[in-house]
Amino acid sequence: MADSDARLSDHEWKWKMAAEGKAIYIPGKTAEQIKVEMAATAEGLAQKSARTITMTAGAWSTIDTAIPDVIEMLSDVRNVLHELAYADDLDQPWVNSVMRLSARAMQSMQDKEILVLDQLDVAIRDATEEDAA
């Protein structure tokens, strides 16, 4: 290493070597820096966040059954789409029937379960985080 190179920082030296075609240098973070950041992010995501959400008793009652109902419906939709994806002939009579029944089932949830879950989503987003005591 030349005397002038000794005065270069690690970053500057790597840039110089890359500029001379002697190395490839992609500036970034060290593995240790990334590990520290990932640990801090994981710690932040694991912290509890309290919020107070006010909704009507009727809405809470509907939410109690809406969440498992919507989860079940999504599972059913996944199963239908899986079957359709691997069907050899989409012109079969059952395909149109299954699609109509699936659409009707989803539409029947629109005015009750999906509506109240949308209200819950808005209430959660409008709620402010409470100070941890």
pTM over 0.85: no
The set of residues, in sequence order, having a beta carbon less than 8 Å from that of 63 and lying 6+ positions away, is 55, 116, 117, 120
Q: What is the DSSP letter of 52?
A: -
| Whether 62 and 19 share a structural domain | no
| Whether 84 and 116 share a structural domain | yes
| Whether 113 and 89 share a structural domain | yes
Q: Is residue 5 part of a domain?
A: no
Tell the burial category of 116 from Cβ atoms under 10 Å away from its Cβ (0-12, 13-18, 19+). buried
| Whether 119 and 69 share a structural domain | yes
Tell the burial category of 82 from Cβ atoms under 10 Å away from its Cβ (0-12, 13-18, 19+). exposed
Q: Which domain holds residue 89?
A: 57-128
- How is residue 18 written in tokens? 């890359």
Q: What is the total count of domains within the chain?
A: 2
Span 67-84, pLDDT tens digits? 999 999 999 999 999 988
Span 88-133, pLDDT tens digits? 888 888 888 999 998 998 898 888 899 999 999 999 999 887 765 5
Q: Is residue 115 part of a domain?
A: yes
